Amino acid sequence: MKSLIPALLLIFCLAVVSLFVGVSDVSLWSVLNGTADQRQVMILLASRVPRTIALLLAGSGIAIAGMILQMLARNRFVEPSTTGTVESAGLGMLVVLLLAPDMPVMAKMLVAAVFALAGTGMFLAVLRAIPLRSVLMVPLVGIMLGGMISAVTTFFAYRFDLFQSMGAWANGDFSAVLRGRYETLWVAFALTIAAYIAADRFTVAGMGEEFSTNLGLNYRRIMAIGLVIVSMVTASVVVTAGVVPFLGLIVPNIVSMAMGDNLRKSLPWIGICGAGLILACDIVGRTINAPFEIPVGTVLGIIGSLFFLYLLLRRQSRVA
């Protein structure tokens, strides 16, 4: 637990950097010695601080959701964007745009969460119905399911001329996060705390239904709780910033390699590393091609796909 402190300090430094990177020039120094003008303080409070907080909450939330999903599906290769969760949340957003575009953000998030829940539940039901021989089939099934759901979304988005608005969330981007538009992410944060409280249950569930039953854990109930957490966290991130791919895959796998899957020990690390990775990717995306921004979803997409390949190749070499 003690070694968490340096890690937290590192996150804090990244967060400070994140606050002072951007097109408009706001410097840490001018804020500290009071020479910053009103416009600069305004930018900091209305845009930079919300963006950084949103990144922290989304990063830790998605990483933890990814880990829980891996325990529930008992598969290392799944995360919200390979289980149909993200795509279902997107479909939910489309439904909101079509039927009740003026809903408050929180209500939008809840609708998206209900869709995400249904989609992820369907994925897990498929896994139960067809026991898969290969671990790689599991994410493939999820990606196929997600593809089907997003095809439906695309079809209706075209029909109703909503393609522009739907396109915006397809790639995670925190540049539009403003005060008043990211607060649903606190729901994700509350749920990650809940996940930590139930950490031992998720670890037991990760040992499988028979182990759980032997230890007196109600397997179905913990599956349901896990599904709700994963769906709500994913939906709140998708509604706020869009799809953040691969984060829920990379972070849990790295932490698992280093310290195993006893979630009581590893969940805090997963949260911290998730926040750190997304902050770092966001900073890279904002500086590498300044003054233009590369969305964090794109940066993560590149890093994540490389990491995914590494995981696959590593597995091959261990089997061989």
Partner 1 sequence: MIGISGVSKSYGQTVVIDDVSLTLPKGGLTSIIGPNGAGKSTLMSMIARLLPIDRGTVMVDGLDVALTAGDALAKRLSILRQDNHLAARLTVSDLVSFGRYPYSKGRLTDEDRGHIERALTYLGLDELKHRFLDELSGGQRQRAFVAMVLAQDTDYMLFDEPLNNLDIRHAVAMMKLLRDAAKDLGKTVVVVLHDINFASCYSDHIVVMRRGRLFRQGVPEEIIREEILIETYETDFKVRDMDGNRIATFY
Q: How far apart are CA 173 and CA 296, in angstroms?
A: 6
Asked whether position 71 contacts partner 1 by CB under 8 A, the answer is yes
- In sequence order, the 6+-apart residues with CB closer than 8 A to the CB of 47 are 177, 178, 179
Host H or E run for residue 312: helix 296-319
Asked whether position 200 contacts partner 1 by CB under 8 A, the answer is yes
Asked whether position 193 contacts partner 1 by CB under 8 A, the answer is no
Q: Which of 65, 187, 217, 233 binds partner 1 (CB under 8 A)?
A: 217
In 3D space, the residue among 29, 16, 17, 13 whose CA is nearest the CA of residue 287 turns out to be 17
Q: What value does the CA radius of gyration of the chain take, rounded to a whole number of Å?
A: 20
Contact predicate 57/189, CB 8 Å? yes
Contact predicate 62/77, CB 8 Å? no
Q: Which of 56, 201, 240, 282 binds partner 1 (CB under 8 A)?
A: 201
Pull the structure tokens for residue 58.
Answer: 């989304």
Q: Which of 175, 256, 287, 298 binds partner 1 (CB under 8 A)?
A: 256
Q: Which of 45, 107, 215, 313 binds partner 1 (CB under 8 A)?
A: 215
- The residue range among 2-10, 85-93, 169-177, 258-266 that interacts with partner 1, by the rule CB under 8 A, is 258-266
Nearest-approach distance from CB 71 to partner 1, in angstroms: 7
Nearest-approach distance from CB 207 to partner 1, in angstroms: 6
Asked whether position 262 contacts partner 1 by CB under 8 A, the answer is yes
- In sequence order, the 6+-apart residues with CB closer than 8 A to the CB of 195 are 64, 68, 202, 229, 267
- The residue range among 103-111, 208-216, 270-278, 289-297 that interacts with partner 1, by the rule CB under 8 A, is 208-216
Q: Which of 93, 204, 238, 241 binds partner 1 (CB under 8 A)?
A: 204
Q: How far apart are CA 132 and CA 137, in angstroms?
A: 7
Asked whether position 210 contacts partner 1 by CB under 8 A, the answer is yes
Q: How many beta carbons lie within 10 A of that of residue 287, not counting itself? A: 14
Nearest-approach distance from CB 261 to partner 1, in angstroms: 4
**Can you give the binding site for partner 1, defined by CB under 8 A?**
71, 74-76, 199-201, 203-204, 206-211, 213-218, 256, 260-262, 264
